[in-house]
Amino acid sequence: MALERNRQLFEEAHALNRAAYQLLESGQLDLEQFEHYRALRRKADVKFADAIEHLCVLNEDFPPIPMSVQNSQGLRRELETAE
């Protein structure tokens, strides 16, 4: 669930970012729209920071599981024979 939430945070940040850039690409940018663009970019930046912080906490709480020596040697052999 935690990884799913992190993915959602990044998706929300990307969506805000895309919406902001669509305002720039509209070609009809006035002061009000520019301020709206800046607000969207600030929200996206905050959401990205939240997602990164969330991911850091996840990495602390759930460190990656190291591959066993046997598994890594087996994987190496498979890769070598595939070439």
Domains in the chain: boundaries: 2-82
pLDDT digits (tens, 9 = 90+) for 13-32: 999 999 999 988 888 888 99
* Residues ≥6 apart with Cβ < 8 Å to 19: 40
State the pLDDT at residue 82: 62
pLDDT digits (tens, 9 = 90+) for 28-69: 888 999 999 999 999 999 999 999 999 888 888 877 666 555
Q: Which of these, 20, 21, 11, lies nearest to 48 by C-alpha position?
A: 11
